Homo-oligomer: A and B are copies of this chain.
Amino acid sequence: MRARDHGFVVGQLPPGAANSITDVAGVRVGHANALPDHTGVTAVWPHAGDPFSQPYFCGTAALNGAGELTGAWEIEEWGARTTPVFLTGTSYVGAVYNGATHVLTARQPTMARDEVMIPVVGECDPSSWCDLRDGPEPGDEMVARALDDARGGATTEGQVGAGVGMETFGYAAGIGTSSRVVGEHVVGVLVLSNFGLTERFVLCGRPVGQSLANETASSGEGSCICLVATDAPLLPHQLKRLARRPFIGLARTGSYGSHGSGEIAFAWTTANLLQREAPAETALRMLDDELLSALFAACAEAAEEAVLNALCAGRDLRGYSGQVLPRFPAERFALPTGA
């Protein structure tokens, strides 16, 4: 069950068919885990083609940059990327970065010869629940598996892939996604949700966290990586702007960007794809800035709902030390659904 199944309806704009980042045509999400209760890898293909042959425009932003999203220098400098996007646990950034290097190099004959590559790897810290010292480390095989597992349509959420061990407002969360349709365009958000002080949790405007703080405990630290995809023809500087809007959704759930919370966003468009062997000039389209406002509202709504979806998809997680991170008891707050 997802947030809407409990009557948790966020905002005013309609979601796409799958209510997922995959509603942006070509975007695909895959997961891989070594063990069900241990952090793994989530991989996102940014468009229908090969991002090495067809670099895509993108931009980043941080509400609180207390985390890692590799490739940030080139994203800022070039406004474009050439790899899929990877998510994992903090201590595995190097392993997944290296796995991505191995797998993508093997699949691309000119890589590390005429070209090098800097992948995008984001992280949250599941170390309260997963044993990052002694647990199984993701390697090439898991990176490849997540890439090959990737698909459109409905996205598996919660404690899966990079989402395992992730906690939000004191409950098991992890991967969540949602989308909004704005005219002929779609905005989709996928979060790796691992943040929030229980007493600050706001559910669709209701400050439910204060009562829940007696039932569960959260450190209040943690992070939330936000991936934002759209098919609107944006330029890199417009994507940087879009990348700031998931934080509006996070704020509405109760985030205040705590000191240790890496609330970092990466936004891209599937339109305006570039070519590796580019001509002297490439023809592009730019969405009128006035039309961005609706995309911004869509992004804020989708981010808020993505966090709720991550919470609603959680399951009890037995941590490596034996303690249990409980699932969010969504049914206790259920509202009448439209049906």
**Chain A residues proximal to chain B, CB less than 8 Å:** 12, 62-74, 76-79, 90-91, 93-101, 105, 111-113, 116-119, 125, 127, 132-133, 199-200, 202, 205-207, 210, 220-221, 233, 235-237, 241, 244-245, 247-249, 251-252, 255-260, 262, 264, 278-293, 296-297, 299-300
Can you report 9 A-B residue pairs in the complex whose CB atoms are below 8 A from each other? Answer: A73-B264, A90-B112, A94-B97, A94-B100, A97-B97, A113-B133, A251-B251, A278-B288, A284-B285
In the complex, the chain B residue whose C-beta lies closest to that of A118 is B68
Interface secondary structure of A, over-half rule: mixed
Q: State whether A288 touches B296 (Cβ < 8 A).
A: no
A314 shortest CB reach to chain B, Å: 22
Q: State whether B289 touches A78 (Cβ < 8 A).
A: yes
Other-chain contact of A73, B210, B235, B262, B279 (Cβ < 8 Å)? B262
In the complex, the chain B residue whose C-beta lies closest to that of A79 is B237
In the complex, the chain B residue whose C-beta lies closest to that of A291 is B280
Contact flag A236-B235 (CB < 8 Å), given A101-B94, A118-B90: yes
A118 and B111 CA atoms in complex are apart in Å by 26
Q: State whether A94 touches B91 (Cβ < 8 A).
A: no
Q: State whether A64 touches B241 (Cβ < 8 A).
A: yes
Other-chain contact of A205, B73, B133, B207, B287 (Cβ < 8 Å)? B207
Residue numbers in B under 8 Å from A133 (CB-CB): 105, 111-113
Q: State whether A94 touches B105 (Cβ < 8 A).
A: no
A105 and B131 CA atoms in complex are apart in Å by 12
Q: State whether B252 touches A296 (Cβ < 8 A).
A: no
Q: State whether A296 touches B244 (Cβ < 8 A).
A: no
In the complex, the chain B residue whose C-beta lies closest to that of A239 is B237
A260 and B97 CA atoms in complex are apart in Å by 21
Q: State whether A297 touches B200 (Cβ < 8 A).
A: yes
Other-chain contact of A66, B67, B73, B257 (Cβ < 8 Å)? B73
A9 and B281 CA atoms in complex are apart in Å by 31
A76 and B70 CA atoms in complex are apart in Å by 14
A275 and B89 CA atoms in complex are apart in Å by 26
A281 shortest CB reach to chain B, Å: 5
Residue numbers in B under 8 Å from A282 (CB-CB): 285-286, 288
A289 and B282 CA atoms in complex are apart in Å by 10
A272 and B71 CA atoms in complex are apart in Å by 28
A219 shortest CB reach to chain B, Å: 10
A88 shortest CB reach to chain B, Å: 11
Other-chain contact of A256, B99, B118, B264, B293 (Cβ < 8 Å)? B293
